[in-house]
């Protein structure tokens, strides 16, 4: 039998979650089936083979137990809540739509193009992205503009590790991101009410901040389709829509790039979109939030609780005007 060392494994070699969990899920499915008719309806899904899309698989060699700014000691949101209550308009506008509609999204093979104001433009495969830097588990708060929040053990590394390889020139002031969009795989996007492909942007110093995460996994596994497989951004001090999913293009640019929700409604969605309890959304307050899985609301923290690390990025700025 041929045994591969970890360094020889490719992104395609990892055993799909649906296979290594198969026997356990089969037994659980049988027990559930004996208890309720609803569970019986789910049984074929539990024992079926992996689909053609990106099925979450276990990630080995991830650095865990980080302390300080890279993690919070707050209780993580349940995996089910974090993967079944999502904003991903390419797969539908209801929170439950992405998990239901993204099942067969094909997230492999995959490349990310890095271009623009860089000395070394190139395309990265997922194998290359996975090996650019040690993978870290960072338990971040994640706050959405609709006033709900989650705590997720994201897996990745600082975006700066990739950016430095491209060598941004002195002309680069911002970073523009673009999501994958294919009408055949994402027919729901046509009725989303926003322009697609989805685009986002950061100021260069924001993108290069150590907390800005190039994310390839969550909860010890690769990303589920509905959470942005196979690679996304996580910027924990900004509202969730800034953390663009399923990235295919990164451009270093001179001027502030357009962003999807700012294009759709500039009055409600600014370029910076830092979490700020003192600046309400025009249609609701941002002073409090509800953590998924909890009943009571909690006060919203300035910069989502990461002010000590990032407040200096906005020194002297009017954060009501630059919302």
| For range 159-177, the mean pLDDT | 98
CA–CA–CA angle 64, 166, 105 (5° rounding): 60
Same domain, residue pair 4 and 98: no
- The CATH number of whichever domain residue 247 belongs to comes to 3.90.420.10
Instruction: Tell me if 323 is assigned to some domain.
Output: no
CA–CA–CA angle 323, 193, 281 (5° rounding): 25
pTM: 0.85
Burial 159-173 (b: 16+ CB within 10 A, else e): beebbeebebeeebb
Same domain, residue pair 77 and 46: no
Instruction: Tell me if 32 is assigned to some domain.
Output: yes
Residue 217 · residue 228 · CB < 8 Å: no
Q: Where are the beta strands (DSSP E) in the chain?
A: 111-116, 122-125, 136-143, 148-158, 174-179, 199-203, 213-218, 221-222, 232-234, 247-253, 288-291, 298-299
Same domain, residue pair 119 and 240: yes
Strand 288-291 versus strand 148-158 pairing type: parallel
DSSP assignments along 92-147, one per residue: -SSTTHHHHH-TT----S-EEEEEESBSS-EEEEHHHHHHSS--EEEEEEEE-TTS
Same domain, residue pair 139 and 199: yes
The tens digit of pLDDT for each residue in 262-288 reads: 999 999 999 999 999 999 999 999 999
Instruction: Tell me if 320 is assigned to some domain.
Output: no
Is the pLDDT reported for residue 27 higher than 50?
no
Instruction: Give the Cβ contact number of residue 186 at 10 Å.
Output: 23
Same domain, residue pair 36 and 81: no
Q: How many percent of the chain have pLDDT more than 90?
A: 83
- Domain hosting 273: range is 67-314
Q: Residue 207's closest CA among 176, 178, 181, 179?
A: 176
Is the pLDDT reported for residue 2 higher than 70?
no
Same domain, residue pair 46 and 86: no
Domain count, the chain: 2
Instruction: Tell me if 56 is assigned to some domain.
Output: no
Instruction: Tell me if 233 is assigned to some domain.
Output: yes
Instruction: Tell me if 214 is assigned to some domain.
Output: yes
Least confident of 49-63, 92-106, 193-207, 212-226: 49-63
Instruction: Tell me if 171 is assigned to some domain.
Output: yes
Q: Check residue 280 and give its pLDDT.
A: 94
Is the pLDDT reported for residue 51 higher than 50?
no
Same domain, residue pair 128 and 22: no
Q: Check residue 13 and give its pLDDT.
A: 52
Instruction: Give the Cβ contact number of residue 100 at 10 Å.
Output: 12
């Amino acid at each position: 039998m041929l045994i591969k060392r970890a360094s020889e494994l490719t992104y395609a070699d990892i055993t799909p979650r649906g296979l290594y969990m198969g026997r356990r899920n089969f037994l659980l499915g049988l027990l559930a089936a004996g208890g309720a008719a609803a569970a019986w309806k789910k049984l074929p899904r539990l024992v079926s083979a992996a689909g053609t899309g990106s099925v979450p698989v276990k990630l080995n060699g991830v650095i865990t137990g980080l302390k300080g700014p890279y993690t919070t000691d707050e209780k993580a949101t349940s995996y089910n809540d974090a993967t079944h209550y999502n904003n991903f308009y390419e797969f539908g506008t209801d929170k439950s739509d992405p998990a239901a509609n993204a099942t067969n999204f094909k997230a492999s093979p995959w490349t990310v193009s890095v271009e623009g104001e860089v000395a070394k433009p190139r395309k990265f495969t997922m194998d290359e992205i996975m090996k650019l830097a040690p993978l870290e588990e960072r338990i971040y708060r994640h706050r959405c503009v609709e006033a709900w929040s989650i705590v997720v053990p994201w897996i990745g590394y600082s975006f700066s590790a990739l950016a430095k390889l491209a060598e941004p020139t002195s002309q680069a002031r911002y970073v523009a991101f673009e999501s994958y969009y294919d009408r055949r795989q994402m027919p729901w996007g046509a009725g989303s009410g926003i322009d697609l492909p989805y685009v986002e942007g950061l100021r260069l110093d924001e993108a290069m901040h150590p907390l800005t995460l190039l994310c390839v996994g969550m909860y010890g596994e690769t990303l589920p389709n509905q959470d942005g497989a196979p690679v996304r951004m996580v910027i924990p001090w900004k509202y969730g829509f800034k953390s663009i999913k399923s990235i295919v293009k990164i451009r270093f640019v001179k001027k502030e790039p357009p962003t999807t929700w700012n294009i759709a409604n500039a009055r409600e969605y600014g370029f910076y979109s830092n979490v700020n309890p003192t600046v309400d959304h025009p249609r609701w307050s941002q002073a409090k939030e509800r953590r998924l899985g909890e009943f009571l609301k909690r006060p919203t923290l300035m910069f989502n609780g990461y002010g000590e690390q990032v407040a200096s990025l906005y020194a002297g700025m009017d954060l009501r005007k630059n919302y």
